[in-house]
Amino acid sequence: MRTLLWLLLLGTLLLAGAFAAGYLLVEIPPANAAAVAQSNVYLYRDGSTLARDGETNRENVRLDRVPLTVRRAVLAAEDRDFHTSRAVDPKAMVRAAWNTVTGKGRQSGSTITQQYVKNYYLGQEQTLTRKAKEFFIAIKLGREKSKEEILQGYLNTSYFGRNAYGVQAAARAYYGKDVEDLDTAEGAYLASVLKAPSAYDVTTHPENRAKAVARWNYVLDGMVTEGWLTRADRATAAFPTPQTARPATGLSGQRGYLVQAVEEYLTGHGIIDEKTLAGGGFRITTTLEPAKQDALVQAVEDRVMTRLDPANAPADRYVRVGAAAVDPATGKVLAMYGGVDYTQQYVNNATRRDYQVGSTFKPFVFTAAVQSGAQTQHGEPITPYTVYDGTNRRPVEGWTGSPYDPANEDDESYGEIPVGTATDLSVNAVYAQMAVDVGPGHVRRTAVSLGLPGSTPDLTASP
């Protein structure tokens, strides 16, 4: 028993000594590079310059310019006990670390003071050294600065997406107004995007709108819980869809689409987090080849754009082009066409996921059929020579879900038709029946195994 007490005492002394040493040795440093962010440089495969992502959009404001409801929305989203708690919360840090280790998702457990330290003095890297420095600097900062000074610093250094640093730049980028003109709903949306700026930008990623709205509701409900918003005002709040993003003119033409795709790849694959990338100063070499990029753009111009006549053919006004050239041996993207011009149409047609895939999905169905050795309803192996009934509006046999009788283009009926010809003519009746014969679940698994993201909207196991 005495030995145990001595061990506990020794452990306590060691922890106290480590804390004292850390507090004395770690000084509050000058502002980091992200606080005075630079541009990133994007390079083609051969090292030539593809684009620069422009100057950082930042405008510091005094705290009294930020409406009280906007400040409270941020606190509801990030640190509801900010005004009454200490600069660091060891229990929250341990809980967040445990949840991360046990697979419940990466969590930070950081207070607003710690996040401000990370934004302004340190960086976004996930290392024990950085977390230790953040811990001690936050404690010192909490003793040297008032809560109002820390909150003002946090609001001015946080990254909101759209290349906007600070709440004033975010107000301009998302709503085209100064921060003092934001209403409660708009402030709650800006507070929501702090967690995942790109993912919760509903105009850039409309497929994530449900998640963004859920986060917005979480913020407003938190304000009600804290007594910062009345239930009556909460009930009348409507989701404030932001304006379409206005990219920098330096990213005009295809350059903006290419930069956007590269950034989404880097952040989406965990190569670098979004806030660190936005901090700038990186040279990023892509797999894109300038000659192939120029050739793809010229091909779109020659084969599509010059043949459109929107003045005389109104339907031509709705034509959108997206394309990518991929090396099938390596999967490297060699060229990409995202749209008419990034400064005119912000969403990349080559990578967006909210368009109906249409007949381009049919190869997945046939691939699944061949790969699995599937048979028709009548027991015949499915090959390019297998005959199907291509009658328009023919009910799909063997499907146990809601009755389905797909129409062919122009409501044309083909009668008995081999799979090869049905593929050439893109006959919907044939492929809907084939999907059921193969098994919709197997078709979906085949599409995902070939690289289609499993989270693709509407990728349901149905004909």
pLDDT tens track for 363-419: 999 999 999 999 999 999 999 999 999 999 999 999 998 999 999 999 999 999 999
Residues 6+ apart with CB under 8 A from 423: 362, 366, 384
With a pLDDT cut of 70, the percent of the chain lying above it is 82
pLDDT tens track for 327-367: 999 999 999 999 999 888 888 999 987 777 888 899 999 99
Tokens found for residue 260: 């956007």
The model's pTM: 0.53
User: SS3 string of 250-261?
Assistant: HHCCCHHHHHHH
Q: Are 163 and 193 in contact (CB under 8 A)?
A: no
pLDDT at 186 over 60: yes
- Hey, what amino acid is at 307? R
Residues 6+ apart with CB under 8 A from 266: 272, 277, 284
Q: How far apart are CA 391 and CA 405, in angstroms?
A: 10
- From the candidates 359, 380, 397, 412, give the one annotated as an active-site residue: 359
Q: What angle do CA 432, 435, 436 make, to 5 degrees?
A: 95
In this prediction, residue 106 has a pLDDT band, given cuts at 50, 70 and 90, of very low
Per DSSP, what are the bridge partners of residue 283? 41
> Catalytic residue at 78?
yes
Per DSSP, what are the bridge partners of residue 418? 387
Q: Are 346 and 245 in contact (CB under 8 A)?
A: yes
Half-sphere exposure of 170 (CA within 13 A, CB side): 27
In this prediction, residue 167 has a pLDDT band, given cuts at 50, 70 and 90, of very high
Half-sphere exposure of 403 (CA within 13 A, CB side): 4
In this prediction, residue 83 has a pLDDT band, given cuts at 50, 70 and 90, of confident
Query: Domains of the chain by range and CATH?
Result: 56-236 (1.10.3810.10), 249-337 (no CATH), 358-449 (no CATH)
Q: How far apart are CA 429 and CA 440, in angstroms?
A: 15
pLDDT at 443 over 70: yes
E runs forming strands in 186-343: 283-285, 323-326, 333-337
Per DSSP, what are the bridge partners of residue 335? 325
pLDDT tens track for 122-142: 655 555 655 666 766 777 777
Q: Are 266 and 284 in contact (CB under 8 A)?
A: yes
Task: Tell me the pairing of strands 164-165 and 283-285.
Answer: unpaired
Q: Are 320 and 339 in contact (CB under 8 A)?
A: yes
pLDDT tens track for 290-325: 999 999 999 999 999 999 999 999 989 889 999 999
Residues 6+ apart with CB under 8 A from 436: 396, 397, 398, 399, 463
pLDDT tens track for 232-282: 999 999 999 999 887 666 788 999 999 999 999 999 889 998 878 877 778
| Neighbour tally for 179: CB within 10 Å | 23
> Catalytic residue at 359?
yes
Tokens found for residue 97: 């670390």
pLDDT tens track for 424-438: 999 999 999 999 999
